Amino acid sequence: MRLVAIKNITGVIRLRSGLHIGASKDNIEIGGMDQPIIKDPITSAPYIPGSSLKGKLRSLLETSVFMKNPDTRKSVVDGKPCACGKRTCPACTIFGSHAAPKDCEDDLGPSRLLVRDASLTDEYRTLFVNGLLPMEVKTENIIHRVKGVAEHPRPLERVPAGTCFTLNMAFRVYEGDSEELLNYIWKGLKMIELDALGGGGSRGSGQVVFENLQVDGKPVDLEGIRAF
């Protein structure tokens, strides 16, 4: 397989509501927050892991437009990402096949999409360094169905609404690849805007919008993209 291009996808991820992407329980300090967000271990600045964004993209696409592929549909019904490893499968081609069958003769090559960790934009990094971007704590609870009172409060750390992160992705193009593969990325990003990123999406967290989206310096308008 011959690599013919690597397209650079850039933009800004702006939070419309607080964002919670949880840290490993191994990182929770004694006396610290029960549900902290993931942070850079050196600067303590929040960031969005590339794995979180890529995983959300894949999940939304596999449970919608990629369901037309019989192999993908079978995997989704089983609650798993597609791993058929076939060249005709957009899910495996774009995101990679983690467990392709040994009898699969297709040579997919590397996954086409690379998603970098999204760090704070320069403006918001400066605010954070100067102590002007505090994280928020949202308390969630359960309402007792008889008493009608809130019980079992759970503190949830979130990056506050309005915060901006850098979007940086790369898309490998190999000889013979369909141009439609890249278009799936725009559909996936549009779906994330309609859905949510991170945890607690059904409870108000994780609403985002992608701004100043470009591929190789050329603007991409998600407003004109149909998600479904």
More reliable by pLDDT, 147 or 122: 122
Q: Residue 216 above 80 pLDDT?
A: yes
Q: What's the token pair of residue 41?
A: 């271990």
CA 50, CA 96: separation in Å to the nearest integer? 15
Q: Which of 33-37, 80-84, 205-209, 220-224 has the lowest mean pLDDT?
A: 33-37
- Write out the H or E segment, with its range, that includes residue 122: helix 122-129
pLDDT (tens digit, 9 = 90+) per residue, 100-110?
666 665 678 88
What pLDDT shows up at residue 31? Answer: 46
CB–CB of 188/164 below 8 Å?
Answer: no
Per residue in 132-159, pLDDT (tens digit) is: 999 999 988 899 889 888 888 888 999 9
The confidence score (pLDDT) of residue 100 equals: 67
Mean pLDDT of the chain: 91
List of residues 6+ apart from 180 with CB closer than 8 A: 90
pTM to 2 decimal places: 0.91
d(CA 91, CA 53): 15
Q: What is the DSSP track for 17-73?
A: S-B--BPPGGGPPTTS-SBPBPB-TTT--B-B-HHHHHHHHHHHHHTTGGGGSHHHH
Closest residue by Cα to residue 12 from 118, 166, 193, 121: 166
Whole-Å CA distances, 73 to 76, 80, 94, 184: 5, 10, 16, 17
DSSP, collapsed to helix, strand or coil, labels residue 170 as strand
> What pLDDT sits at residue 106?
66
pLDDT at 24 over 70: no
pLDDT at 150: 87
Enclosing H/E stretch for 192: helix 180-194
